[in-house]
Amino acid sequence: MPIGNSLPLLKSRPERVNPQRTTATATASVEMLTRRQSAPALVIPPEETHIVLVTRKSPDTTAAGELVPSRKKVQSGIVAKGPLDTIRSGASDDFLISLLECPVCFGYMMPPIMQCARGHLICSSCRSKVNLCPVCRVSMTNIRSLAMEKVASKLVFPCKHSHFGCRARLSYAEKSNHEEDCDWRPYFCPYPDDKCSWQGSLKDVYQHLMSSHENVITMEGNDIIFLATNVNLEGALDWTMVQSCHGRHFLLSLEKIHLGEGCQQYFTACRMIGTMRDAAEFVYNISLEAHNRTLRWQSKPRSIRESFASFTNADFLVLNKSTVELFSEDGNLALNVVIKKVQGNSH
C-alpha cells in the first residue's frame, strides 16, 4: 500500500499525546516503520521540541495503558524502543532522587538506608523512632537497602535549605558538611533567652525581634550609649538592644549569669544580624567610664549565626560583680558602644 494511502487511517483515529513520557509501540505495518525511519531527518530547535506519541491497545499494554517493555518487536532492522531508552538523564535523576525521600521526615535518605520486610525505605534517624513501617504498617527490620545506597552514591541532591534559596546540588558525601555551613540555612532567634524557638531566614530576623521581643529597644548611629538599668537585681537577667548603623543591624547584649553561690558574671557581646563574612568587615569598641575610672574593650562582632550560649569559648567582654559595681551609678551601667568598618573594607 502506498504510504500516502495510510494517512487517512491515522487521522481517523484519535491520538493520545503525552509529552512527559517517551515511549514507542511496535506496529505490524512495515509502511509505518518505514515512515518512522525518516523522523531523524527533521531538525527541531531544542526549545521548540515536542514529542507526539501515537499509542494503540495491544497485548503489550496493561490495564492502565502502560507499556510492558519486555516484549519488543524487531522488524526491518528497527528496534522499538522501550520507555527507559528515551528518558532524559536529568528527568531520570530527579525520579531516582524522589525515591529517596523519607516518608517520615521527608528529607533525602543518606546511607545507611533502612527498609521494612516489604522493601519500603526509611532513613536511619527515623528508623530509630518507629517500630512499624510508615507505609504498609508491618514490623520494621534492621535490614539495609544496599541497592538504594549504591543509587544514592551516584546522584547529586539539592541542599535541604533549597526552599530558603540555596541552589547547590551535592553528592551524598558532600551534603551533610555543606548543609551545616550553608548560608541559606535558617537562623535561630538571637535573643539571649533560649525560650524562643523561632527560626527563619536572615532577612526576617530583625522584624522578628521587633515584633516578638517587646523589651528590645533600637538606636540609630555608630556611637551610642547602651544603658543597662538595675544591674544589681538578683537572679539571671539580660539587657538587649539593636544598634543600626552602616546600613546594618547589630545586637548588643549584656547578660548576667549565676555561676554559683555568691558568684555572678556579666557577659557583654556585640553580634551582627548577618553572616560571619559580613561581621568580619566591622570592629566594635565598648568603654566604661565612671568615678575617674576607664575600661575599654575592642573586638570584632560575632554573627548571630554563632550561639550566644557558649560564653567560655567566645570572645566576649566578661565583667565580675565587683567591676560592675565600680562602674555603675545608681544601679545603672552605661556602656559606650562604637562600631566602625574595618579599614580597607569600606565601600
Interval 122-151 mean pLDDT: 92
Query: Where in 246-291 does DSSP place strands (E)?
Result: 248-260, 263-272, 282-290
Q: Report how far residue 308's alpha carbon sits from residue 255's, in angstroms, rounded to the nearest whole number.
A: 10
What integer pLDDT is reported at residue 173 of this predicted model?
Answer: 83
| Environment class of 253 (CB within 10 Å of its CB; exposed 0-12, middle 13-18, buried 19+) | buried
* Region 297-306 average pLDDT: 90
332, part of any domain: yes
DSSP string, 35-98: HHHTGGG----GGG----------TTB-TTS-B-TT---EETTEEPPPGGGS--HHHHHHHHHH
The answer on pLDDT for 267 being more than 50 is yes
Residues 104 and 76 in one domain: no
65, 137: one domain:
no
The pLDDT value given to residue 344:
65
Distance, CA of 158 to CA of 168 (rounded, Å): 6
Number of domains in the chain: 3
Do residue 336 and residue 212 come from a single domain?
yes
Confirm whether 44 is domain-assigned: yes
168 belongs to a structural domain: no
Residue with cell 535541604: 160
Question: 108 and 246 share a domain?
Answer: no
pLDDT of residue 309: 60
Cell triple for residue 312? Answer: 567560655
Residue 241, phi then psi, degrees to nearest 5: -150, 165
Q: What is the model's pLDDT at position 73?
A: 40
Distance of CA 120 to the CA centre of its chain: 25
Q: What is the pLDDT of residues 212-239, one digit of tens each?
A: 998 899 999 999 999 999 998 887 788 9
**Residue 78 and residue 95 in one domain:** no
Tell me what pLDDT residue 63 has: 39
- Asked whether residue 115 falls in the same domain as residue 11, the answer is no
| Mean per-residue pLDDT, 277-294 | 94
- Specify the CATH number for the domain of residue 137: 3.30.40.10
| Least trusted range by pLDDT, from 81-90, 208-217, 269-278, 300-309 | 81-90
What is the three-state SS of 103-151? CCCCCECCCCEEEECCCCEEEHHHHCCCCECCCCCCEEEEEECHHHHHH
Same domain (yes/no): 242, 96: no
* pLDDT tens, position by position, 179-223: 887 888 889 999 987 788 998 888 899 999 999 998 899 999 999
In a domain, 36, yes or no: yes
Residue 346 lies in a domain: no
pLDDT at 264: 82
CB 324 within 8 A of CB 225: no
> What CATH number does residue 337 fall under?
2.60.210.10
- Residues 77 and 34 reside in one and the same domain: yes
Mean pLDDT of 132-150: 92
| Boundaries of domain holding 78 | 3-82
Single pTM value for the model: 0.59
Q: Are strands 317-320 and 169-171 parallel, antiparallel or unpaired?
A: unpaired
Residues 69 and 117 in one domain: no
Question: Looking at the DSSP assignment, which residues form a beta bridge with residue 79?
Answer: 74
Residue 31 banded pLDDT, cuts 50, 70, 90:
very low
The overall average pLDDT reported for the chain is 76
What does the pLDDT look like over 59-103, one tens digit per residue?
Answer: 443 333 444 444 444 333 333 444 444 344 556 778 888 888 999
Residues 76 and 209 both lie in one domain: no
- pLDDT confidence tier of residue 136, bands split at 50, 70 and 90: very high
Task: Name the band, by pLDDT with cuts 50, 70 and 90, for residue 313.
Answer: low
Q: Which of 112, 136, 154 is the last residue of a domain?
A: 154
One domain, residues 93 and 123: yes
Give domain status of residue 294, yes or no.
Answer: yes
Judge whether 181 lies within some domain: no
The residue-averaged pLDDT of 98-118 equals 90
162 assigned to some structural domain: no
Per-residue pLDDT, 242 = 96
pLDDT for 237: 86
Last residue of a domain, one of 82, 109, 140: 82
Which of 46, 62, 82 is where one domain is finished? 82
> Do 12 and 98 belong together in one domain?
no
Give the confidence band of 311 by pLDDT, cuts at 50, 70, 90.
low
